[in-house]
Amino acid sequence: TTGAVYLELAKVYFHKKELAEAINYQKKGFQVFAELESADPRYLANIAVTLSEWCEKAEDFNEALVSLRKAEHIYESAFGVMDKKTCKIKRNISLLLLKTSKYDEALEELMEVENLERSLYGDKSIQVGKTYKIIGTLYIISNKPEEARNALLRSLRIFEARGQHKLIKEVMGKLKMLGSSVVIGGSNRDEISHHEDSQEEEIQ
């Protein structure tokens, strides 16, 4: 089909490191399959997610977010909000918002992710602990120390119960930062958000 040809061309250009052309053909492929009533929602959502990743690589963060929102809509329409795939997409969206310094939007998205993860995985799951850790980081960036401490302590309790030593160390470092009453600003904000994104990019 035409859509499949577009997607194959997109892969070719991506491997040739010609991102602009790869993104162009990926968009065309997505459009073709989106117009097919018989299109598998998982397949269609994966096209959108790949497009988002490529746009992010090209530092077109607005387009990356648009594509992730499309994937989110596809999953919600096909499987509902209370679905692990939907939850993962929402988590991806929150991390992209964090990366682009849209902290209020990221926090709002993460609050929804937290509620979903608690229902899907349980209150003491690693997923919930990681989300509390990101929320704590966002509160640090926003200079809300009490809220940050509460979120980080929640994540710490989960990680301690799960024996997650690396994550425990990371949370302790953030709590120590709060204890030193450091005012987060300028480059420190960038450093924290970049670190958090790199630590959490493996979506559970």
Model pLDDT for residues 138-167, shown as the tens digit of each residue? 999 888 999 999 999 999 999 999 999 999
pLDDT tens digits, 72-110: 999 999 999 999 999 999 999 999 999 898 999 999 999
193 pLDDT higher than 50 = no
Mean pLDDT, all residues of the chain: 88
| pLDDT, position 184 | 46
Please tell me the predicted confidence (pLDDT) of residue 181: 54
CB 149 within 8 A of CB 157: no
Q: Tell me what pLDDT residue 179 has.
A: 78
Q: What is the SS3 string spanning the chain? A: CHHHHHHHHHHHHHHCCCHHHHHHHHHHHHHHHHCCCCCCHHHHHHHHHHHHHHHHHCCCHHHHHHHHHHHHHHHHHHHCCCCHHHHHHHHHHHHHHHHCCCHHHHHHHHHHHHHHHHHHHCCCCHHHHHHHHHHHHHHHHCCCHHHHHHHHHHHHHHHHHHCCHHHHHHHHHHHHHHHCCCCCCCHHHHHHHHHHHHHHCCCC
pTM > 0.85? no
Say whether pLDDT at 118 is over 80.
yes
Structure tokens at 52: 């988002």
- When comparing pLDDT for 191 and 101, which is higher? 101
Backbone φ/ψ region at 82: left (φ over 0), alpha (ψ -120 to 50), beta: beta
Rounded mean pLDDT of 45-74? Answer: 96
- Confidence band, pLDDT 50/70/90 cuts, at residue 37: confident
Which pLDDT band, with edges at 50, 70 and 90, does 123 fall under?
A: very high
How would residue 177 be classed by pLDDT, with cut points 50, 70 and 90? Answer: confident
The C-alpha atoms of residue 23 and residue 155 are separated, in whole angstroms, by: 38
Report phi then psi at 186, rounded to 5.
55, -120
Average pLDDT over residues 130-137: 94
